[in-house]
Structure 1
Amino acid sequence: MSAVTRLFLSSTRPTGALKFIRATFATQPGSKEHIESLIKDKKLVVFMKGTPDAPQCGFSNAVVQILRFHGVNEFDSYNVLQDENVRQGIKDYSNWPTIPQVYINGEFIGGTDIMIEMHKNGELIEELEKIGIRSDLLDNPDKQA
């Protein structure tokens, strides 16, 4: 009998066994709880293919370039190509089928198309200000394309 089975069977209170099972399995990569732990209390998170320094697809690269255009070089990122569970888990969590996915203050913002639109209409500057990041475009208006 495995240690897990013994622990489960030796529990005299069903709530103890249930707590053990939840603690063991709830934090599996890709679970809702795991995804929440990756975005919780973080200002800016990008789930992408590759890394900011080496994006593995054009859409992920576009999001990184938009952020850099605004002077945002520091943000949390997760390479979904390293873990299929996280890759599928983030899609399930957001109910959004594509990667990359951008989260600001724990809130799902969108993917590449949304980021491009927010950049064009100025909403991205406002969202960045909400998390204490001043866009470079405010200081360099000639930089706008």
Structure 2
Amino acid sequence: MSAEAMQILKQEVENNPVVLYMKGTPDFPQCGFSARSAEALKAVGAPFKAVNVFDDEEVYRQGVKTFSNWPTIPQLFINGELVGGSDIIVDLFQSGELKTMVESATAQ
């Protein structure tokens, strides 16, 4: 992964309280895991930045996996920290923790 790709990812997760790297977009997800993750964030009313990993193969599709040391997409970052993938996001949503985490991260 290039230094430029690393810098792009670092800036995105540091400058946005909630970032979801996903396949597709929240309105047009391109895999079920990404769809479930985006729906969970929408359901808790989370303002979030969604990044379509298909937009840039080097930076997003492969780079985010190296950046986070997490092998799968989607990936959720809150306050610059990796939260996890689809299963973790759905579990946090079902327990109510996702709403708390997002509200805390996005409070002005």
**TM-score using structure 2 length:** 0.88
Residue number in structure 1 paired with 2:56: 83
1:94 and 2:71 are equivalent in the alignment = no
Aligned length: 105
Identity of aligned residues (%): 43
Residue number in structure 2 paired with 1:26: 3
**TM-score using structure 1 length:** 0.67
Quote how far apart the aligned CAs of 1:129 are: 2.3
Unmatched segments (≥5 aa) in structure 2: none
**Which structure has the higher relative contact order (CA within 8 Å, separation 6+)?**
2
Please identify the structure whose Cα radius of gyration is greater.
Answer: 1
Residue number in structure 1 paired with 2:98: 124
Deviations along 1:53-91, whole A, 9 cap, x unmatched?
A: 11111110001111111122x321111112111211100
Q: CA–CA distance in 2 between the matches of 1:45 and 1:132?
A: 11
Q: CA–CA distance in 1 between the matches of 2:25 and 2:85?
A: 16
Letter in 2 for 1:100: P
What is the RMSD of the two structures over their aligned residues, measured on CA atoms?
Answer: 1.5
- Please identify runs of 4+ aligned residues in structure 1 that moved more than 4 A: none
1:47 and 2:11 are equivalent in the alignment = no
Unmatched segments (≥5 aa) in structure 1: 1-24, 134-145
Residue number in structure 2 paired with 1:67: 41
Distance of aligned partners of 1:32 and 1:67 in 2 relative to their CA distance in 1, 3 Å threshold:
same
